[in-house]
Chains A and B, each alone.
Chain A
Amino acid sequence: MIRVVDLVTHYGERRILNHVSLDIPAGETMVILGGSGTGKSTLLRHIMRLELPSSGHIFIKDQDICYLQEERFNLLRRKIGMLFQSAALFNSMTIEENVALPLHELTQLEDSTIRIMTRIKLDLVGLSGFENYMPSQLSGGMKKRAGLARALAMDPEILLFDEPSAGLDPITAAGIDSLILKLKVAFKMTIVVVTHELASAFVIADRITVMDQGRVIATGTPEEIRQSQHPRVLQFMNRIPEGDQMDAQTYLRTLTQN
């Protein structure tokens, strides 16, 4: 379903993704795990073509989206839903209007049909009764749920999650995890989740990819990742902090250098 081949990307001079390759078959839930600044969110943004790579390819349903015409990619994009880290709800619209927006703009459906579909999606994420609330009136977890309802509006085949449990308490985060599991079972969607939450990763993943400094350092089933002997994977799994890598001489030099 999604195939990333040799993806390289830079922000200015800095290389963010370093020859990343990834294969996600249809119906699989892939969790991309890694610390902050390892390029995992950037990878997700590339899959959504919110950014273009320096080199490499991304195939979605066998079409190379990096070179696909805007119009054709927009058609493909309707089959992809994305939940952003901040939920990215439109603050000037109610929850119902947020979820209905893609349906209003991209389909020819009657308003009454759109209202019913919107309510079904909101019910699916447990937000019935909140249709007329503004995003600012919702809690963090509810915003995520509303964002998810909007991502589900067009009945996507692929769902992308950027840090779904970031900034949420453990109970709310577990609620989001169980929602992802529910979607996986009920709709057989291909799901890609970017996260640094170990607990959540092992609950929802079919396979896990671990990234470090813009590279993929391990891919496998949760069990394989648990047994991996890769030092960075071990460090991540066992929550060992970065060591003090500077000797006294170097430290002094960094302080005195102009």
Chain B
Amino acid sequence: MTGVLAFLGRNTLDVLRYLSGLYDLSAKAAYWTFVAPFRGRKLKWESAIHQMVLAGVNSIPIVSLISLFIGIVLALQGAYQLQKFGASYFVTALVGVSMTRELGPLITAIVIAGRSGSAFAAELGTMKVSEEIDALEAMGLNSVRYLVVPKYLAMLVMLPCLTLISDLAGILGGGIFEVLQLDQTFRMFLAATRDSLAMHDISTGLVKSLVFGLIIAKVGCYEGFSVQGGAEGVGKATTSSVVVSIFLIIFADVIFTAIFYYTG
């Protein structure tokens, strides 16, 4: 019994320590992003744009392709059920609303967590192991400002953009199936999409994507900074950054979806 309690206690403490570390890093990053620029400490836009290209622009093909496939799958599954009731016209609405409210932000976040969150952890972890972060601090340059803030900015700007691209690609994927299989014209598909989507659907998805972006940057950077040991530590941090970000993304998704559901 005491063994179980000790196990629970130890793990709870570990989780709390992790969350407090995440909070600490986020607070510092928020300071350097939103407060310090008003105190004469300029943002590093050059490195932020570099990160935006790496994490955002370069992810457009993979995010679009995956979203296109998800859109097709969604339309296929929706048509399977809706055709039974002769309601295949609603497949367009199903794909549109699911993509914008839920799957667009989620798929984008999961792909970016795997692609960029892990890269953040690996980059910062390697820098930690090779004493580069210490060297930066030794010069009196703040490592959060130089290394974390550009990644935060990149995620905050690029995740909503990628989510919009994902929404579009998903809806288009659904459209391809509808036009080819459900005897709809492309014009009908466009009209049905326009009718079924409200601005609210897109905006809730974008709010989610902002939160997901923060989670990816936060976890990736925190894991990188916490690397202990050598190459093995970097590997562990990279894996764990993906696992933890995806878990937190889905957890945040539940909370936000519930909030949007109850607040209409």
Contacts and interface: CB of A to CB of B under 8 A. Distances in A.
B140 A86 contact: no
B139 A85 contact: no
B130 A88 contact: yes
A106 B132 contact: no
B140 A50 contact: no
Interface in B109-133: 126-127, 130-132
Contacts, number: 50
Interface string B121-161: 00000110011101101111100000000000000000000
Nearest to B133: A88
A86 B130 contact: yes
A93 B138 CA distance: 18
B32 to A, nearest CB: 13
B138 A48 contact: yes
A204 to B, nearest CB: 21
B132 A91 contact: yes
Interface in A18-77: 45, 48, 50, 73-75, 77
Nearest to B136: A90
A77 B134 contact: no
A91 B130 contact: yes
A101 B139 CA distance: 9
A16 B49 CA distance: 43
Nearest to B138: A82
B interface: dominant SS: helix
A130 interface: no
B137 A106 contact: no
A105 B126 CA distance: 23
A150 B138 CA distance: 11
A184 interface: no
Nearest to B135: A88
Contact of B140 (A85, A89, A90, A106): A106
A77 B132 CA distance: 16
B131 A84 contact: yes
Contact of B132 (A73, A90, A105, A154): A90
A140 interface: no
A219 B240 CA distance: 47
Contacts of A102: 139-141
B131 A85 contact: yes
A50 B137 contact: yes
A252 B259 CA distance: 65
B134 to A, nearest CB: 5
A84 B135 contact: yes
A39 B160 CA distance: 49
A78 interface: yes
B85 to A, nearest CB: 58
Given A85-B131, A102-B141, A150-B135, 7 more contacts: A48-B134, A50-B137, A82-B138, A84-B131, A88-B131, A88-B132, A105-B139
Interface of B: 126-127, 130-132, 134-135, 137-141
| Closest 5 pairs (CB-CB, A-B) | A88-B135, A74-B140, A88-B131, A77-B140, A84-B131
Interface of A: 45, 48, 50, 73-75, 77-78, 80, 82, 84-86, 88-91, 101-102, 105-106, 150, 154
6 contacts: A50-B134, A75-B140, A82-B138, A88-B131, A102-B141, A105-B141
